[in-house]
Amino acid sequence: MTFPQRRLRRLRRTDALRRMVAETTLSADDLIAPLFVREGIDRPQPIVSLPGVVQHSVDTAVKEVVELGMLGINAVILFGIPETKDSVGSEAWNPDGVVQVALRRMREEVGDAMVLIADLCVDEYTDHGHCGVLDGKGSVDNDSTLELYQRIAVAQADAGADIVAPSGMMDGQVAAIRSALDAAGHVDVAIMAYAAKYASAFYGPFRDAVDVTIADGGDRCGYQQDPRNGREAMSEIRFDLDEGADLIMVKPAMAYLDIILRARLETDVPVAAYHVSGEYAMLEAAAQNGWIDGDAAAFESLISIKRAGADLILTYLARRVAEALADRRPQLGTGPRALTSAIKELPEESS
């Protein structure tokens, strides 16, 4: 019988060895926290299908941003829920619209210490729930929608957004937004393009979070990508980069790790991945039933997304992960809590 000389298990023996050779790490700097801000409420409202996530009032959203900052989270992305919706989503570019008000208040509180990102779309603001203007035949008109996106971009930049993040999947949206921002003097406002965004069933709970129902049982297959297509995602990414995107995003994350990897290989710009509402809800539901270890599964999910090549992750887990990292838990949910339990308190210096 011959024995192997090289034993991969040697470096897996202790938690300290495993930590030393870990190829991938997760830090609060990698995370972008999504926040829902709802107009006309004075206390946070729970979202049933997203346990632990709430619709904030402007006041509680501002407080949350400050707390996230103290936990080491660098960036938030805002979604607005207006009191009134109409056919074009005009509240989205109202200077006194809920996201614009929240951005101004947040900027006052945190200065430049945190990155404020605004999701740029109209679906939360339209009465039909689509991401653009409907033509007479019930489909979304690409080019007239671009004009709305331009107005939103300028309103969000005027209110203090560092980055706008167009999520509507209209062709040419990045170019249209870039030219509108530049014309308004916002040359320093960056664009994070939802470049490879799929028509996904995993967005279900998000639509509860923003009170969106797509009219007439419709869907977004006419503008978001078909889950069967991978090469097409590379076209989306190339178009968005040519049009001036500063960062690109793949969404959802876990079912699209191949796309994240290809995006990483294809480009040099920062790649973000959105661990979306349904991905979070599945983890929570299984954990609440005691079917999986929620913290361990959360850590494994996020580390997989980073291992695939994402630099940044938008995730509803951001606060919990940051809290766990701040606690100096050696590795959230994986293996024995060796460091915190085994290293004894240092003896007090004798005076």
Looking at the Cβ atoms of 203 and 299, the one nearer to ligand PBG is 203
| 32, burial (CB in 10 Å: exposed 0-12, middle 13-18, buried 19+) | buried
Q: How far is the CB of 86 from ligand PBG (least distance, A)?
A: 16
Q: How far is the CB of 77 from ligand PBG (least distance, A)?
A: 9
Binding site for ligand PBG (CB under 6 A): 119, 121, 123, 131, 167, 203, 206, 220, 276-277
Instruction: List residues bridging with 45 in a β-sheet.
Output: 55
* Torsion, CA 132, CA 273, CA 337, CA 334, rounded to 10: 100
Active site residue 251: yes
Q: Which of 63, 85, 137, 197 is catalytic?
A: 197
SS (H, E, C) the chain: CCCCCCCHHHHHCCHHHHHHHCCCCCCHHHEEEEEEEECCCCCCEECCCCCCCEEECHHHHHHHHHHHHHCCCCEEEEEEECCCCECCCHHHHCCCCHHHHHHHHHHHHHCCCCEEEEEECCCCCECCCCCCEECCCCCEEHHHHHHHHHHHHHHHHHCCCCEEEECCCCCCHHHHHHHHHHHCCCCCCEEEEEEEEECCHHHHHHHHHCCCCCHHHCCCCCCCECCCCCHHHHHHHHHHHHCCCCEEEEECCHHHHHHHHHHHHHCCCCEEEEECHHHHHHHHHHHHCCCCCHHHHHHHHHHHHHHHCCCEEEECCHHHHHHHHHCCCCCCCCCCCHHHHHCCCCCCCCC
Looking at the Cβ atoms of 121 and 310, the one nearer to ligand PBG is 121
Spatial separation of the C-alpha atoms in residues 150 and 148, rounded to whole Å: 5
* HSE-up of residue 316 (Cα within 13 Å, Cβ side): 25
* Torsion, CA 168, CA 172, CA 177, CA 178, rounded to 10: 140
Q: How far is the CB of 337 from ligand PBG (least distance, A)?
A: 30
Q: Which of 63, 85, 137, 251 is catalytic?
A: 251
Looking at the Cβ atoms of 227 and 329, the one nearer to ligand PBG is 227
Looking at the Cβ atoms of 183 and 221, the one nearer to ligand PBG is 221
Looking at the Cβ atoms of 90 and 167, the one nearer to ligand PBG is 167
Q: How far is the CB of 276 from ligand PBG (least distance, A)?
A: 4
Looking at the Cβ atoms of 14 and 139, the one nearer to ligand PBG is 139
Q: How far is the CB of 123 from ligand PBG (least distance, A)?
A: 5
Using CB atoms, what's the residue nearest to ligand PBG?
A: 206
Q: How far is the CB of 270 from ligand PBG (least distance, A)?
A: 18
Looking at the Cβ atoms of 252 and 294, the one nearer to ligand PBG is 252
Active site residue 344: no
Q: How far is the CB of 263 from ligand PBG (least distance, A)?
A: 18
Amino acid identity of residue 152, one-letter, is: I
Q: Known catalytic residues? A: 197, 251
